[in-house]
């Protein structure tokens, strides 16, 4: 099959692109390189630097494409609170631009990467796709808005759509920005350095962490699965762990001397979050295969940044 992946040089996009390329598919990648690194892509991936709002470039890249994976987005919840206009322009505006270009060229399926952040605070756990979304950040709002655009435009223009609500993905190569880094790579970095693991609030809040390989499996299934048009589907591990428990697991796994520090005044986000995977199993045949402990171990073993810290 022929695929176009937007956001192809990012954490999720590059893992997906490399997997598809290794399986013999023709893969084109588009990324503005605001966060991504094209050096991590397999040499057989045809990479183009550019923006999803560049319509002439999209028209060229979409020729003869069977399915588009739309991953290009701004993804930091704290950053979205500071820059909601940018998140709306990139995440929502970019999605609409892509859908228009797909209509123009005649591409018939798109897999959109949404987020578990659209749920916000929910009393019922695990969360299923029938619950009323309650996003608590501009990032979550942008993903929910994009879901509606994708499904609505798809229905009007005859484009098959499926939106995957990805929960807290992690794994080797995850971006570690200086501000607001993702929890797992940040904890691992501090643990291998015997530094300080800072936990916001009391650490009792729970999250659903899903290993990158499991996410990729779900995404590949979504491109070819029947009877998924217009669906939104959770992709997670189906288990929850407290942030405090995650910190302990990381320290014990590395045998680290890292100190755990609690910051009770900071915003710790929603109290609980865990994905109900019933629909993913039914529609995609998806079942997570990598436990959190095994995923953490694989991340340490396969990410040279952590190996260098352990050796030094």
Pair 109, 67: CB distance under 8 Å:
yes
Q: Which of 69, 139, 149, 286 is catalytic?
A: 139
User: For residue 132, with 0-12 CB atoms within 10 Å meaning exposed, 13-18 middle and 19 or more buried, which class applies?
Assistant: exposed
Residues 6 or more apart whose Cβ sits within 8 Å of residue 97: 52, 53, 55, 58
**DSSP per residue over 12-52, as a string?**
HHHHHHHHHHHTT-EEEEEE--SS--GGGS-TTSEEEE--T
Annotated catalytic, 139?
Answer: yes
Q: How many CB atoms lie within 10 A of CB 100?
A: 14
Query: What tokens were used for 167?
Result: 């929960």
> Cα 210 vs. chain centroid, distance in angstroms?
10
| Residues designated as active site | 139
């Amino acid at each position: 099959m022929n695929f176009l992946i937007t956001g192809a040089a990012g954490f999720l996009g590059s893992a997906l692109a490399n997997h598809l390329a290794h399986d013999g598919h023709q893969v084109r990648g588009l990324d503005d390189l605001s966060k991504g690194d094209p050096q991590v892509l397999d040499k057989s991936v045809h990479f183009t630097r550019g923006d999803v709002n560049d319509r002439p470039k999209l028209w060229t890249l979409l020729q003869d494409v069977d399915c588009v994976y739309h991953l290009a987005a701004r993804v930091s919840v704290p950053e979205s609170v500071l820059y909601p206009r940018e998140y709306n322009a990139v995440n929502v505006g970019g999605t609409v631009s892509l859908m228009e270009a797909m209509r123009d060229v005649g591409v018939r399926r798109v897999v959109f990467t949404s987020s578990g952040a659209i749920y916000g605070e929910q009393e019922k756990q695990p969360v299923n796709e029938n619950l009323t979304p309650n996003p608590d950040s501009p990032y979550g709002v942008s993903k929910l808005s994009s879901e509606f655009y994708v499904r609505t435009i798809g229905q009007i223009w005859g484009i098959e759509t499926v939106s995957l609500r990805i929960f807290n993905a992690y794994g080797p190569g995850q971006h570690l920005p200086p501000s607001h880094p993702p929890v797992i790579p940040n904890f691992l970095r501090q643990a291998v350095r015997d530094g300080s693991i800072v936990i916001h609030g009391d650490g009792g809040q729970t999250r659903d962490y899903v290993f990158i390989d499991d996410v990729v499996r779900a995404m590949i299934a979504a491109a070819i699965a029947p009877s998924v048009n217009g669906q939104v589907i959770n992709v997670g591990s189906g288990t929850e762990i407290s942030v405090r428990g995650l910190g302990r697991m990381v320290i014990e796994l590395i045998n680290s001397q890292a100190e755990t520090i609690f910051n009770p005044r900071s915003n710790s986000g929603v109290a609980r979050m865990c994905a109900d995977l019933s629909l993913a199993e039914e529609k995609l045949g998806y079942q997570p295969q990598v436990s959190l402990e095994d995923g953490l171990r694989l991340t340490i073993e396969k990410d040279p940044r952590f190996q260098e810290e352990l050796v030094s």
